[in-house]
Amino acid sequence: MFGTILTLALRSIARHKLRSFLTILGIIIGVAAVVTMVTLGRATTLQVQKNIAALGTNILQVRPGQGFGRGGGGPRPPDFKPEDVTAIADQVAGVTAVAPQASATVTAVYEGANWSTTVNGTTDAIFQVQPWPLLDGRRWTPAEEQAGKAVCIIGGTVVKNLFPGIDPVGKRFRVGSISCDVIGTLTTRGQAGFGGDQDDTVVMPIKAVQRRFTGNRDIRLMLVGVDQRFSTDAVQSSITDLLRERRSITGGKEDDFNIFDTKQISDTFSSTTVLLTRIVTAVAAISLVVGGIGIMNIMLVSVTERTREIGIRLAIGAVAREVLMQFLVEAVALSCLGGLIGLVIAQLAVGALSALGGLPFLFVPGINILAFAISAIIGVVFGYFPARRAAALNPIDALRHE
């Protein structure tokens, strides 16, 4: 008997393609929206966590100024000096290494190819602080670092744009006004969730950058590696005390520098994306319910419109239960179909938006199953009322219906 009713329901859907499509449009949009939003939210969270992990865990970033969104007004706080780097490395317990950083935006040129990039001057300590292995070549020697020689290690984006299909190690190219020997290449780290492309960089001994590009001994950023056995909070407060002392900040005066714990950033970003995902999903879920009401609406109209048809079916011997089941199965089949189409659209949307936002393509089975199940349940719930109404019709009146 169920096969019969399924046949009847599917025939009826196939006969009214436009009406069927309009009926399920709400479900399609609702399912597609929910699945897309949840998947993209999940992908964003994962990507942010991965990027932050790539920056390295147990790293404190020390910058002059009062951090995001604070300070402003007054003279700019002074940058750090190489002595600050040495002081932190020598005096604070739990610090494994301190890498200073000085950067400049430059144009790099190799055999007619131009590329605007950032030159980052640092010391060999950066390789202890950050887990950033070389893809090829070598690090600079202590002698080269000391002398501030123009040797550099370049990131994947620079390789791609200046040395397409060429092994850059051993080549000499122009960085700004100087020429520089490529001694190594970095492994690719990918897009950062914030702060742009981490592979678009030319890494050079800090002395070379200070002498040739910035023209001073200033350090804009220190990356402090923290020993696993020490708490980053404790190390952070030790550094704060040391820097306040060195920068002569006393009493209740606020720090004129800030220290960021990457783990803290990671947590903040994760909880923000999770919250945003929930809100957007809730909005999408409302559209799914609206889609369900759309199904009920069209099915109710359909019962009125098809009164005569129902009369014919009853007259030729359909029992009330069969008419009820036919309408119910029609509603469920429609909403399941809508759910399936919505899932397909969601995968396409996730694919397109992921590519656009530089996110990895993600398929989350849970939300797909859930969204499909909800669309089926919507079919049952919102299809039952119209179906019961159809089944309760009196065949004589139904046949007389114009």
Binding site for other proteins (CB under 8 A): 1, 4, 7-8, 11, 15-16, 308-309, 311-322, 395-396, 399
Q: Which is nearer to other proteins, 81 or 389 (CB)?
A: 389
Q: Which is nearer to other proteins, 35 or 314 (CB)?
A: 314
Distance (Å, whole) CA 196 – CA 358: 11
Shortest approach of other proteins to residue 18 CB, angstroms? Answer: 12
Is residue 382 classed as helix, strand or coil in its secondary structure? helix
Distance set, CA 330 to CA 23, 225, 302, 303, 353 (Å): 11, 64, 11, 12, 34
Residue 106 parent element (H or E): strand 95-110
Shortest approach of other proteins to residue 9 CB, angstroms? Answer: 11
Burial class from Cβ neighbours inside 10 Å (0-12, 13-18, 19+) for residue 102 reads buried
Shortest approach of other proteins to residue 296 CB, angstroms? Answer: 23
Q: Give the 3-state secondary structure percentages of the chain, helix then strand then coil, rounded to 5.
A: 55, 20, 25
Q: Which is nearer to other proteins, 131 or 395 (CB)?
A: 395
Shortest approach of other proteins to residue 328 CB, angstroms? Answer: 16
| Torsion region of 203: left, alpha or beta (phi above 0 gives left; psi -120 to 50 gives alpha) | beta
Shortest approach of other proteins to residue 335 CB, angstroms? Answer: 22
Confirm if 97 and 109 have CB atoms less than 8 A apart. Answer: no
Q: Which is nearer to other proteins, 246 or 308 (CB)?
A: 308
Confirm if 325 and 379 have CB atoms less than 8 A apart. Answer: no
Burial class from Cβ neighbours inside 10 Å (0-12, 13-18, 19+) for residue 3 reads exposed
Q: Which is nearer to other proteins, 278 or 321 (CB)?
A: 321
Note the maximum CA span of the chain: 103
Q: Which is nearer to other proteins, 124 or 309 (CB)?
A: 309
Shortest approach of other proteins to residue 23 CB, angstroms? Answer: 16
Q: Which is nearer to other proteins, 113 or 315 (CB)?
A: 315
Shortest approach of other proteins to residue 299 CB, angstroms? Answer: 18
Confirm if 255 and 240 have CB atoms less than 8 A apart. Answer: yes
